[in-house]
């Protein structure tokens, strides 16, 4: 292929590959944020429209049977492949045979199952979930020309499920909230997603640098008979620089949106807790000696609107919440009070949501601050006027 054709092809391919990796990095980052913002909750504490991670064991009265292999499961993807031999003629007129396995039949089925936790169980609508983990059967050959294979989600498996508790009491998908099933725990799955985002980003930068430097190395080698390495290095950096600035700026924008989203969730949770605590206080009056002090303290929770004032209010409310949640140990008769138990469970779930929201807010804030203060991203921060942000310390 002539050099004047090959050089644009190399450069164009590197640009396309670099953009693709950076785009995948951005998508992984968005997915990771959605996965991380959902708290991990016990099944019995789920409220309607709660988006959360739940973990438990799959149970089914009438499981599916994976075709050919006959394994009990709640989901499978099965296929039959046939061995095909073809005669191919190359550009020189020589004939040779090629063998491949072509799919002649495939089938995918799923069936709802019950997820059973330490406390409670819930119906999971399998057809609405992305199956992120499964068991592979490998290949089973039928003679020499057919082979069977499948992936399946076995019954009795312990899984984590991300979804929403729906109005009918089942667990499924609602709107744009992602839903998935995996063998991994929430923390392990989020960590793997975040690692994928980092790898894609660096592969994108490497592809662009290699494309620019490689193109220049090829061109100087053709023109001069030897590679001009300093010029090739400069060409790689010159191609990388605008894409790095664009990518870094987009990371700042994403982090800012994520900080605002995480803070919005904290604000909602704080308001819900402010409304919930007085209801619980009203139920336990007569059991606790410090009801008046508690009620007086409640009036100071929403005293301010700044971040510092909200943090102080959260500290106060957290102390009150812990005191109320410990009452069932001091007064065993409260465990028989249905209203107390209902409010108690709601507050336990809310504290878990708040802990997740605080952790996520501080994580994305730390990433924002690292971008603002680390080199070389601080150059982009200075260029666009981005400044470090405060953390939400409990």
**CATH code of the domain containing 278:** 1.20.1440.20
> 154 with 270, same domain?
no
Domain end position, chosen among 176, 195, 230 = 176
Neighbour tally for 43: CB within 10 Å: 20
Q: Taking residues 4-22, report their average pLDDT.
A: 87
Residue 13 lies in a domain: no
Residue 78 lies in a domain: yes
Give yes or no for residue 348 having a pLDDT over 70: yes
Residue 74 lies in a domain: yes
Q: Taking residues 76-92, report their average pLDDT.
A: 86
Cα dihedral sign for 246, 255, 198, 380? positive
> 267 with 387, same domain?
yes
> 278 with 171, same domain?
no
Q: Give the tokens for residue 156.
A: 């009795």
Residue 60 lies in a domain: yes
Residue 217 lies in a domain: no
Cα dihedral sign for 33, 35, 359, 22? negative
Highest mean pLDDT among 94-98, 153-157, 278-282: 153-157
> 275 with 394, same domain?
yes
Q: 138 — alpha (psi -120 to 50), left (phi > 0) or beta?
A: left
Number of folded domains that form the chain: 2
pLDDT (0 to 100) of residue 97: 85
- Residue-number span of the structural domain to which 349 is assigned: 251-394
Give yes or no for residue 266 having a pLDDT over 60: yes
Beta bridge partners of 106: 79
Residue 21 lies in a domain: no
- In this structure, are residues 346 and 276 in contact, taking their beta carbons and an 8 Å threshold? yes
Q: Give the tokens for residue 278.
A: 């007085």
pLDDT (0 to 100) of residue 275: 84
Give yes or no for residue 296 having a pLDDT over 80: no
Residue 30 lies in a domain: no
> 65 with 149, same domain?
yes
- In this structure, are residues 147 and 169 in contact, taking their beta carbons and an 8 Å threshold? no
Can you tell me the distance from the alpha carbon of 269 to that of 262, in angstroms, rounded to the nearest whole number? Answer: 11
Domain end position, chosen among 176, 194, 229 = 176
> 169 with 70, same domain?
yes
Distances (CA, A) of 314 to 12, 362, 365: 54, 15, 18
For the ranges 49-53, 163-167, 202-206, 389-393, the lowest mean pLDDT is seen at 389-393
Q: Residue 61, Cα to own-chain centre: how many angstroms?
A: 31
> 265 with 133, same domain?
no
> 288 with 154, same domain?
no
Per-residue model confidence as pLDDT tens digits over 376-393: 999 999 999 999 999 987
- In this structure, are residues 327 and 334 in contact, taking their beta carbons and an 8 Å threshold? yes
Residue 188 lies in a domain: no
> 276 with 393, same domain?
yes
pLDDT (0 to 100) of residue 375: 92
For the ranges 152-161, 199-208, 220-229, 244-253, the lowest mean pLDDT is seen at 220-229
Cis bond leading into 22, ω under 30°? no
> 290 with 376, same domain?
yes
What's the predicted TM-score (pTM) here? 0.84
Domain end position, chosen among 176, 201, 224 = 176
Q: In percent, how much of the chain has pLDDT > 70? A: 92
> 256 with 340, same domain?
yes
Across all residues in the chain, what is the average pLDDT? 87
Of 154 and 175, the structure prediction assigns the larger pLDDT to 154
Give yes or no for residue 278 having a pLDDT over 60: yes
Give yes or no for residue 302 having a pLDDT over 60: no
The confidence band for 292, taking pLDDT boundaries of 50, 70 and 90, is low
- In this structure, are residues 167 and 150 in contact, taking their beta carbons and an 8 Å threshold? no
């Amino acid at each position: 292929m002539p050099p004047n054709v090959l050089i644009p092809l190399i450069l164009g391919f590197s640009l396309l590959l670099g953009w693709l990796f950076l785009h995948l990095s951005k998508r992984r980052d968005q997915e990771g944020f959605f996965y991380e913002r959902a708290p991990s909750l016990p099944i019995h504490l789920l409220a309607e429209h709660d988006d959360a991670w739940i973990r438990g064991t799959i149970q089914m009265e009438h499981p599916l049977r994976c075709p050919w292999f006959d394994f009990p499961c709640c989901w499978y993807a099965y296929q039959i492949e046939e061995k095909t031999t073809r005669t191919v003629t190359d550009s020189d007129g020589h004939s040779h045979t090629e063998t491949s396995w072509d799919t002649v039949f495939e089938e995918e089925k799923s069936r709802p199952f019950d997820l059973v936790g330490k406390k409670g169980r819930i119906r999971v609508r399998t057809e609405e979930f992305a199956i992120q983990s499964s068991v592979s059967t490998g290949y089973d050959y039928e003679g020499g020309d057919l082979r069977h294979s499948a992936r399946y989600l076995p019954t009795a498996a312990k899984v984590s499920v991300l979804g929403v508790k729906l109005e009918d009491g089942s667990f499924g998908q609602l709107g744009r909230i992602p839903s998935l099933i995996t063998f991994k725990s929430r923390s392990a799955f989020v960590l793997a997603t975040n690692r994928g985002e980092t790898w894609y980003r660096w592969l994108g930068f490497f592809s662009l640098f290699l494309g620019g430097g490689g193109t220049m190395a090829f061109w100087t080698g053709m023109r001069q008979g030897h590679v001009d390495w300093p010029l090739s290095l400069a060409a790689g950096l010159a191609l990388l620089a605008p894409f790095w600035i664009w990518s870094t700026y987009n990371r700042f924008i994403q982090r800012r949106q994520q900080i605002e989203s995480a803070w919005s969730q904290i604000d909602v949770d704080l308001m819900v807790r402010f409304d919930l605590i007085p209801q619980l206080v009203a139920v336990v009056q007569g059991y606790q000696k410090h009801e008046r002090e508690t009620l007086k303290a409640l009036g100071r929770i929403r005293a301010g609107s700044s971040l510092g004032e909200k943090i102080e209010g959260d500290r106060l409310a957290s102390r009150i919440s812990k005191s109320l949640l410990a009452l069932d140990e001091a007064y065993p008769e409260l465990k028989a009070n249905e209203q107390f138990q209902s409010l108690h469970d709601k507050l336990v779930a809310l504290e878990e949501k708040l802990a997740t929201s605080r952790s996520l807010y501080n994580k994305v804030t730390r990433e924002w601050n690292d971008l603002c203060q680390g080199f070389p991203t601080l150059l982009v921060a200075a260029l666009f006027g981005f400044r470090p942000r405060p953390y939400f310390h409990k």
